[in-house]
Amino acid sequence: MEAPPIQPPPYSIPKVPAAPPRKSSRGWIWALVIVGILVIGGIGVFALLASAIHSAGGGRAHGGSGASELHEVVVEDHDSSNKIAVLAVEGVITGSPIDPEGRTLVDLVKHQLERVADDEAVKAVLLRVDSPGGEVLASDEIYRLLWKFMEEHPEKPVVVSMGSLAASGGYYVSAPCRWIVANELTMTGSIGVIFHSYNYRELMDKVGVRPAITKSGKLKDMMSGEKTQAEELPEERQIMQSMIDESFGRFKQVIREGRSRAARLNAGEGKPLVNGWESIADGRILSGQAALEQGLVDELGNFEVAVDRALKLAKIEDANLVSFDPPLSFGSLFRLFGKAQSEAATVRLDLGMGIPSRLPQGRLYFLSPVHAH
């Protein structure tokens, strides 16, 4: 009997492990939705808080409509019923808007002084100046606001605390004040006027561009950057120099009047202008120490020294330091976002000639060009 044939073992196909269940791609979508809701909700809460603060702090009638919008902020709390208002003049002094609401530095100072005048608890003003100067007109308008405030409210002395830089227009706005404090290393002075422009005719000639001008009078295009040197008329320089000399004379008058009034009010304290001080009014930069020697400032010291002087002049023992700041509204928040995006896409051209291209050309400036960056 034959043996049965040997059968091969049955072939079994190895089992491939099943793939793990695929996660739904909707998870990250829901995460984005939640984040979006939180952001929008946060902005809404911010808007409500801003509105509530505005209603509580700025709803009262203070001076004018612009003044009523400012929020009082406690800078230093000394548990006092008295206040010293801190106002800041920082950066280039300009008549251009400084916030999304279109408020200029001149507007802000005006509104702040209105709040100070209306608040009986404010006993003195502390003006913090850290500026290379700026436009002639804007500087003069701030000067006039301070002068008028001091005339109408002699019981609220104005003390200047100069920072690292208080030159040209920065000194111009300081000149009318009762007392000026500067650090010995403060850069100040730069008393003078400058008109700045560019002549680019040779560049135009190189690229084959020729200006075609039709004008009503021979001086209508005076100081144009398109002129060759031969086309510039002698009268142009004479007219511009006359305007600069007039503004320069005004600058020196502001210093004489402001420092004379301060010396009279301070009754022998402080530093009066020395004889021959105009010899250093040639645009040169002065240290705080050199300015003190010329009588351009009254005292050397820092911000705390200026606070102590304000307390003394106001004849009070203590005071809270407060500021009056513009509110950050719901609408301005989005304008700030838009401004940031716009500036990110803007290429700024600095020609390395002291005055950067973002300053409007063809204007007179009380400005230290070395520091206007």
Over residues 43-56, the pLDDT tens digits come to 555 544 544 444 44
**DSSP conformation letters of 81-122:** S-EEEEEEEESSB-SSB-STT--BHHHHHHHHHHHHHH-TTE
The pLDDT, as a whole number, for residue 352 is 38
Q: Tally the residues of the chain.
A: 373
Question: Lowest mean pLDDT: which of 68-77, 117-126, 179-188, 350-359?
Answer: 350-359
Residues 6 or more apart in contact with residue 182 via CB below 8 angstroms: 162, 166, 188, 288, 291, 292, 297, 299, 300, 301
Q: pLDDT by residue (tens digit) across 39-85?
A: 565 555 554 454 444 444 433 344 456 888 899 999 999 999 999 99
For 129, residues 6+ apart whose C-beta sits below 8 A from its C-beta are 89, 90, 160, 161, 162, 163, 166, 170, 173, 174
SS3 of 164, please?
strand
Query: Using CA atoms, how far apart are residues 18 and 40, in angstroms rounded to an integer?
Result: 43
Regarding predicted confidence, which is higher, 229 or 169? 169
Q: Mean pLDDT over residues 334-362, rounded? A: 45
Q: What is the mean pLDDT of residues 292-318?
A: 97
What's the mean pLDDT in 333-361?
44
Average pLDDT over residues 275-295: 95
Range in 67-76, 151-160, 169-178 with the lowest mean pLDDT? 67-76
CB 152 within 8 A of CB 114: no
The rounded mean pLDDT for the chain is 81
Among candidate residues 68, 139, 168, 323, the one labeled active-site is: 168
Burial of residue 22 (number of CB atoms within 10 Å: 0-12, 13-18, 19+) = exposed
Concatenated DSSP letters of 235-302: HHHHHHHHHHHHHHHHHHHHHHHHHHHHHHHHTT-S-PPPTTGGGG-SS-EEEHHHHHHHTS-SEE--
Q: Which of 148, 215, 218, 220 is catalytic?
A: 220
Higher-pLDDT residue of 246, 55: 246
CA pair distance 240, 220, nearest whole angstrom = 13
**Which pLDDT band, with edges at 50, 70 and 90, does 347 fall under?**
very low
CATH number listed for the domain at residues 58-210+227-334+354-367: 3.90.226.10
Look at residues 300, 298, 297, 295 and name the one whose alpha carbon lies nearest to residue 274: 295
Best CA proximity match to 326, nearest among 103, 47, 93 = 103
Q: Which residues contact 79 (CB under 8 A, 6 or more apart)?
A: 320
97: which 2 tokens? 């808007």
Q: Is the per-residue pLDDT at 23 higher than 60?
A: no
Strands 158-167 and 187-189: parallel
Segment 329-342 mean pLDDT: 46
The helix/strand/coil state of 190 is coil
Is 168 an annotated catalytic residue?
A: yes
pLDDT at position 231, please? 80
**185-216 per-position pLDDT tens digit:** 999 999 999 887 788 888 888 888 888 888 88
Q: At what angle do helices 26-57 and 330-344 cross, to 10 degrees?
A: 120
Residue that has been written with the tokens 């120490």 in this structure: 289
Residue 233's pLDDT is what? 86
Query: How far, in Å, CA of 317 to CA of 307, rounded?
Result: 11
Half-sphere exposure of 35 (CA within 13 A, CB side): 6
Phi and psi, residue 317, nearest 5°? -85, -35
Residue percentage of the chain with pLDDT more than 70: 72
242 included as an active-site residue: no
Which is nearest to 108 in space by CA: 123, 124, 94?
A: 94
pLDDT given for residue 350 in this prediction: 36
